[in-house]
Amino acid sequence: MFYSFKILSELKDSKARTGIIKTKMGDVNTPCFLPVASQGAVKALTHRELEELGADMILSNTYHVYLRPGLEVIEKFGGLHEFISWRKPILTDSGGFQIYSISKLAKVEGEGVYFSSHLDGSKFHFSPEKVVEIQSVLNSDIMMVLDYFVPYISPYEEVKYSTELTVKWAERSMEAFKRWNKNQAIFGIVQGGTYRNLREYCAEKLKEMDFDGYGLGGMSIGEPKEKMLEMIEVMNEILPEEKPKYLMGSGTPEDLFEAVERGVDVFDCVLPTRNARTGTIFTSLGKVIIKQKRYYDDESPLDPNCNCYTCRNYSKAYLRHLYVSNEINSSILNTIHNIQFYLDIIKKIRQSILLGSFEELKSNTLNLKKEMI
């Protein structure tokens, strides 16, 4: 069987659970964090480094790899795994987020979305069916349906329209998937903004379609954190317990704990890699802004509680020097640490659920001083 999800352990006093996603390219232990490789590469890291850090699955983006290098090249190689030489699972997003992130270059109609390429302005069209077809060529392990959401705060009628269109596109995606699928899984995406009734409507409709898993989309776009957590609870009340839940694009360390407690199994976020390149480092003692002058001659490692290559070998003083000198190694070493930090947190979360100590881990982690160090 090329895809399955099995719950291994659950907590009695919350919805936190561990599980395993089985795919054609290997197993993924959940809860899991997916480093973002939009164009087939996690910025500043090689695949070997990713494997050594313990990444089980990465996320690539249909919109980006469709434009560059293009489907012809990837098809010639036999799929995205072969093209990028990554021998573990890949989840591909649909391009729906780009409707939001480059909205000035996107025009949504009932049949799909018309894009103007952010690279050269060329025009192309994504329909739900075409997005499934593209991801079938990519041969990712998990594909996402084309979805549509609008900015927070948008008028209710606009959110309602985007939610209804997401449901229609999900239906068309599932029909196309049945025609194209070979050995992949497909996840639906629940939309609805911060409106409880719209989230409930979308979740109910997608539940009826019996997807392999469900993405919780349109979050972390400016809404209050309490609203995001409320919407997670709303959707988890409706979506089938035996299917994995994926909180898309949200991922502060606090988000991981709060969402796992509410039943989320899969995460992705650009925060660890993007922040690493801009000199913001996550540590067990708080954030480090490495460009600050106080680290000029600091002999200590980024994080005394971290065993990553960066922390074992380099001082804050040297890492500051690399950053202010605009050296490429700054991005590499900072990213190694930040990805290790995230993967360590999610591993500790899994272990704490198995041991029944999740609440203790959450409390100890989130109660550490939050100020910059």
Q: Degrees (nearest 5) of the Cα angle 88, 53, 308?
A: 175
Run of H or E including 116: strand 112-116
pLDDT value at residue 39:
97
The predicted model scores a pTM of 0.97
Amino acid 371: pLDDT: 40
Cα–Cα distance measured from residue 120 to residue 342, given in angstroms and rounded to the nearest whole number: 35
According to DSSP, the β-strands at 286-289 and 142-144 are unpaired
| CA–CA distance, 254 with 57 (Å, rounded to integer) | 21
pLDDT tens across the length of the chain (373 residues): 789 999 999 999 999 999 999 999 999 999 999 999 999 999 999 999 999 999 999 999 999 999 999 999 999 999 999 999 999 999 999 999 999 999 999 999 999 999 999 999 999 999 999 999 999 999 999 999 999 999 999 999 999 999 999 999 999 999 999 997 779 999 999 999 999 999 999 999 999 999 999 999 999 999 999 999 999 999 999 999 999 999 999 989 999 999 999 999 999 999 999 999 999 999 999 999 999 999 999 999 999 999 999 999 999 999 999 999 999 999 999 999 999 999 999 999 999 999 999 999 999 998 864 443 3
158 backbone dihedrals φ, ψ, rounded to 5°: -70, -40
Of 277, 285, 272, 269, nearest in space to 319 by CA: 277
Give the model's pLDDT for residue 87: 97
Cis-peptide into 31, omega within 30 deg: yes
**What phi and psi values does residue 261 have, to the nearest 5 degrees?**
-60, -25
Residue 27 a catalytic site member: no
**How many helices (DSSP H) and strands (DSSP E) are in the chain?**
15, 16
Active-site hit among 56, 268, 303, 344: 268
Active-site position among 56, 93, 265, 303:
93
Q: Has 303 been annotated as catalytic?
A: no
Q: How far is CA 325 from CA 85, 223, 319, in A?
A: 32, 37, 10
